[in-house]
Chains A and B, each alone.
Chain A
Amino acid sequence: MYEIVAESAGKKKLKAGDLTRAMTAKYGDSVSRKDCKAAIKQLIDSGRCVYGYYGGSSIELPRTEGAANE
């Protein structure tokens, strides 16, 4: 899941639902929505990913955003 986020960094902002759909596309029914929820939770709580908001919430790599002031 982390790879999917990393690959799309700078291109498309992925939402929780996009990640879940991508995972089921890749692994079929062997991953449930619950599994995906838990995986997102792990990614966020470990700090490897962060939530972003641009007209809707997304899951992204941590970085310094363009709008940030010193």
Chain B
Amino acid sequence: MADDLKIPLLEELEKGPWPSFVSDIKSVADKSEMARDLLRQLEKSYEDKRGYWKHGGLVGVLGYGGGVIGRYSALPEEFPGVSHFHTMRVNQPSGWVYTSKALNEIMDLWDEHGSGLTNMHGSTGDLVLLGTRTEELEPMFQALTQKGWDLGGSGSDMRTPSCCIGPARCEWACYDTLDLCYNLTQEYQDELHRPMFNYKFKFKLAGCPNDCVASQARSDMAIVGVWKDEIQIDKDAYAEYIKDGFNVKEYVVDMCPTGCITADENDIEIDDSNCVKCMHCIARMPKALAPGKERGAALCLGAKAPIVEGALIAQVIVPFMKLEPPYEELHDLIERIWEFWDEHGKARERIGEFIERVSLATFLEGIGLEPLPQMVKQPRDNPYVFYEEYYAEEDEGEDA
């Protein structure tokens, strides 16, 4: 450890039981001036209770409006190592599957052109390379593309789509998340690299309602695998669970949110018309139960984290769509959504906020979808709508 590194406040963060980013960055502070000054500047921020970063809005690589997030130190004389500290987002492979050779290559390049520090992975999904200088951006970009990598999204563009590991390892996947993630990335290269929207637009793809990528909470369009027919039941495997003393009533029947399971020692039955596809029973008895055979996905729109306004969770917009290459129906819908949002949305307005402002009814009309019961997100809370009026109008219409 270098003698001049005095960071007592940061070292407090190493004391808990969890891994600490302070220990991580310290471990390379001896060989990287960037890492050392990053710690020193952060220590000063802790002492002074204020941040010392400036935004760099213009840094990037030629032709791309996303993928690089510019940062400069406000105290470059004191901390020359982080005078420039730009982040590069590298588009991750579907499902975050790498060979160790590929990772080693990226790390060698990043030691040469940047701080050597990374964040795997950002909540965008990208492999995030932390900290480099403006003049290193183009050389790093060239070196990455020569090895077959590309930058991801940032700013008002389509963000790098990300997906769960899906059918590569998981039998619950109701569509090929990996293939569709790659397809969207390739199909919308312009939207990814050339910011043209009111604000960011994120896709996250989950193979089943377990939603291992938290798409429902974190993406403008969540594509969540689901089935349409009956949960598959293996009666022999069920008998095994009973034989092993598994308490089906306590752990499964009583916990089904819609109470649609009947089970005893001999048999289990599910009223699929009332199943809301929560995955609970399947996750508790994976050998006996499995998603149905007619598989596809539900499309949900509008989640976002609270930055300007409060958090929003996604709402169903298409309850079921078959998802198979070449995914034309999906592309078509996405493009209609983008066009309507582009034309009528305000600057910095995410799709969820847009729908709230213009109303779901207007939005559906704009993109050409029929309203469906599945789109209802919550019970109505306005008591001043009188349905009698609607009925009256309808009656008149029939008379005429």
Contacts and interface: CB of A to CB of B under 8 A. Distances in A.
Interface of A: 15-17, 37, 40-41, 44-45, 47, 50-57, 60, 62-63, 65, 67-70
Contacts of A55: 348
Contacts of A17: 196-198, 342
Given A52-B57, A67-B54, A70-B83, A15 B65 contact: no
A65 B57 contact: yes
Contacts, number: 83
Given A52-B57, A53-B58, A57-B156, 7 more contacts: A16-B195, A45-B63, A51-B66, A53-B195, A56-B348, A67-B55, A67-B72
B134 interface: yes
Interface string B152-170: 0011110000000000000
Interface in B20-79: 54-58, 60, 62-66, 69-70, 72-73, 76
Interface string B213-244: 00000000000000000000000000000000
A12 to B, nearest CB: 11
B54 A51 contact: no
B156 A44 contact: no
A44 B347 CA distance: 21
B196 A53 contact: no
B54 A37 contact: no
B72 A53 contact: no
B4 to A, nearest CB: 21
Contacts of B70: 53, 67
A45 B62 CA distance: 7
Given A53-B57, A54-B57, A68 B194 contact: no
B199 interface: yes
Given A55-B348, A56-B156, A37 B196 contact: yes
Given A67-B57, A69-B84, A16 B73 contact: no
A58 to B, nearest CB: 8
Interface in B171-217: 190, 194-199
A69 B80 CA distance: 10
A65 B327 CA distance: 43
A67 B56 CA distance: 6
Contact of B155 (A45, A56, A60, A67): A56
6 contacts: A16-B195, A40-B196, A41-B194, A56-B198, A57-B195, A60-B58
Contacts of B72: 67-69
A17 B348 CA distance: 12
Given A51-B60, A57-B156, A57-B157, A44 B134 contact: no
B65 A51 contact: yes
Contact of B83 (A44, A45, A69): A69
A41 B196 CA distance: 11
Contact of A69 (B58, B76, B154): B76
Contacts of B194: 16, 40-41, 44, 51
B342 A44 contact: no
